[in-house]
Structure 1
Amino acid sequence: MPRTPSSPLLLAGLLAGAALAHAALPQQFEALVPRSLPGTPRRWTYASGAAELALAVGVAHPRTRRVAALAAAGFFVGVFPANVKMAVDARRRSPAYRAAAIGRLPLQVPLVLWARSVSRSAAPCRTPGR
Structure 2
Amino acid sequence: MTTHRTPTTRAGDGLARTIGRVALGGFLAFAGTGHLTFAREEFVAQVPSWVPLDTDLVVVGSGVVEIALGTALVVAPRRYRPWVGATAAAFFVAVFPGNVAQYVERNDGFGLDTDAKRLARLPFQGVLVLWALWSTGAWRAWRQRRR
The answer (yes or no) to whether the contact 2:93–2:129 under 8 Å persists in 1 is: yes
2:121 is the alignment partner of 1:104: yes
Contact 2:102 2:108 in 1 (8 A): no
* AA partner of residue 54 (structure 1): A
Question: Gapped runs of 5+ residues in structure 1?
Answer: 125-130
Residue 73 of structure 2 aligns with an amino acid whose one-letter code is V
Q: Tell me what 1:17 maps to.
A: 30
Overall identity of the aligned pairs, in % = 31
- Residue 121 of structure 1 deviates from its aligned partner by 6.5
Give the CA deviation at 1:67: 1.5
Between structure 1 and structure 2, the one with the greater Rg is 2
Quote the residue 1:43 is aligned against.
Answer: 57
Q: CA deviation at 1:91?
A: 7.8
Once the two structures are superposed, the pairs formed by residues 1-130 of structure 1 within 5 Å of their partners are: 5-6=16-17, 7-24=20-37, 25-63=39-77, 64-90=80-106, 97-98=113-114, 99-120=116-137
Q: 7-16 vs 82-91, which deviates more? A: 82-91
Amino acid at match of 1:78: A
The total of aligned residue pairs comes to 122
- Give the structure-2-normalised TM-score: 0.72
